[in-house]
Amino acid sequence: MMRILRVATLSLAMMGPLVASAQTQPPAATRANTLRVVVHANLQILDPVWTTAFISGRHGYLIYDTLYAMNSRFEPLPQMAQGHEILEGGLLYRIRLREGLRFHDGSAVRAQDVVASLRRWMSRDVMGQQMAAVTDTITAVNDQTFEIRLKERWGMVLDALAKPSNPPFIMPERIAQTPATTQVTETIGSGPFIFVRDEWRPGNRVVYRRNPDYAPRSEPADYLSGGKRALVERVEWLYMPDHNTALAALNAGEIDYFEAPPLDFINVLARNRNIRIVNIDAIGTSGLIRPNHLYPPFNDPRARQALAHLVRQEDYMRVVVGNPQLYRPFCGSFFMCGSANGTEVGSEPFREPNVERARQLLREAGYNGEPIVVLQPTDRAQYNAATMVLIQALRRAGVNVDVQSMDWSTLLSRRANRNDPYQGGYHLFVTTHGGPTTALPPSNTWFNTRCERANPGWACDAELDRMVGEWAREASPEARAPILERIHRRAWEVIPYVPYGQYTQPVAVRSNVHGVLEAGIPVYWNIEKR
């Protein structure tokens, strides 16, 4: 896919027909106040607690708000919260809400809404589950104040409430009482934008309008913290699976913001004076191959080790990224190379492919030529490219590969299917994660090994889970360091997933778009057009 894109021309003479087929121009009177964004995926799942899909999480940040949020130093700061007290030797957190918070339906945000939202999130999210294990009660004291009482000291309460990926978004109590296993479809939050359901066209367009009743914090916006000031009247998400069409629209000014431009076009785009390239994520993105731990052969750690022995990260990065300035030749860390927890200990045997060792391990795991079902997303160029490299590597090792192609939205639903791989399930798929959430063992979603409570793929290792809990109970970096090393060695033995490389994904915006925050993910407050 990347090779195809390289031969595409960016001349405006050839862009005309592409632009005309993209989207109809908004009315001239509103164009200056509308931010038009090409997003990386089709929004189908509206519940950011039910799924870890990036597109659903970014939808969540538009319409919901969070109790706490991380600043650029990765410190948790109050957001919906006015502040907190830590009492009884660290066993009681008393948190008070800011005055004047209202949901989109006009109702006041109450502590009861927070309690219900936290309970739902804690039953689903990896860090929420860690928090639930040490929590005694969560109760509303009154409409403005609630308390979290712990069974034992746990120094990551505020970090959990402020986690950037899959945070506890606050919903009205009646909605948050929906079981976490059931998708919420009602979209009432208290965030800076309102979801315009009447204009939602799955596979085409999602529209948000500014929330006139949102009261931002007074502090300047910093990463995900501070004042969320909606400076445009509308945000329109456009889904354009063809990158040539999106690039043409960006160059012609038909769109304002390209969330995931092809990485091998970054240098070309940077030479256009009407476009700016913005790196919004200092830590970066890590690609991963997720095996299904429920079924043979990948329910056996030897088969997962075999998978790791087939990966040469440079092969993936060349086709997924292309530009060597944007990726690392190798990263053997489950917690992001370059982060405070970026150890690579235990990865030594997997730094170079070993096909013969992979074949041996597959035989030991009982693999005997059965079809291995690999899910291939056709509309995500980078994921599709990584999947093609994976397929080729498997075939070199003599694996019988059954490639099942589908769009990314369908894959998101398929990967949650626990059925046998030959009855609607799967063996392998690829995805990505990154940022400070991934850099912490308790909040790294795909590192969760709590079996049926883990993310799709359902990694299962009680010993690794116990180690992560031990790490979270310690407060000092000195006490955590030896535990982290044990965690990492164990992870490369049981392999919850296989990293296939770490890279940076900048965004591309028109030069008249200002205020794009380096927030780790695309967010749409603080942005204006002038």
What's the token pair of residue 35? 């931010």
Query: Where do we find the tokens 């309102």?
Result: 194
Return the closest-CA partner of residue 288 out of 311, 314, 260: 311
- Ranges under pLDDT 50 in the chain: 1-29
Contact (CB, 8 A) for 262 and 2: yes
Q: In whole numbers, what is the pLDDT of the chain averaged over residues?
A: 92
Segment 310-322, tens digit of pLDDT: 999 999 999 999 8
Residues 6+ apart with CB under 8 A from 256: 35, 36, 37, 509, 510, 512, 513, 529
Residues 6+ apart with CB under 8 A from 3: none
Contact (CB, 8 A) for 221 and 517: yes
By CB atoms closer than 10 A (0-12, 13-18, 19+), residue 111 is buried
Residues 6+ apart with CB under 8 A from 283: 336, 338, 339, 434, 435, 436, 438, 439, 520
Return the closest-CA partner of residue 309 out of 345, 360, 365: 360
Segment 329-385, tens digit of pLDDT: 999 999 999 999 999 999 999 999 999 999 999 999 999 999 999 999 998 889 999
Residue 213 corresponds to which amino acid? Answer: D
What's the token pair of residue 373? 């079902």
What's the token pair of residue 252? 């012609």
Domains in the chain, start-ordered, CATH in brackets? 31-63+186-282+506-529 (3.40.190.10), 68-176 (3.90.76.10), 285-503 (3.10.105.10)
Q: What's the confidence (pLDDT) of residue 474?
A: 85
Distance CA 169, CA 229 (A): 18
Report the 10 Å Cβ neighbour count for 365: 19
DSSP-derived pairing of the beta strands 257-258 and 34-39 = parallel
Q: What's the confidence (pLDDT) of residue 19?
A: 39
Q: What's the confidence (pLDDT) of residue 435?
A: 86
Query: Where do we find the tokens 């407050």?
Result: 525
Strand partners for 193: 210
Distance CA 118, CA 116 (A): 6
DSSP string, 183-239: --------SSEEE-GGG-BTTTEEEEEE-TT----SSPPBTTBS-----SSEEEEEE
Residues 6+ apart with CB under 8 A from 30: 233, 234
Q: What's the confidence (pLDDT) of residue 21?
A: 39
Contact (CB, 8 A) for 338 and 283: yes
DSSP-derived pairing of the beta strands 68-70 and 76-78 = antiparallel
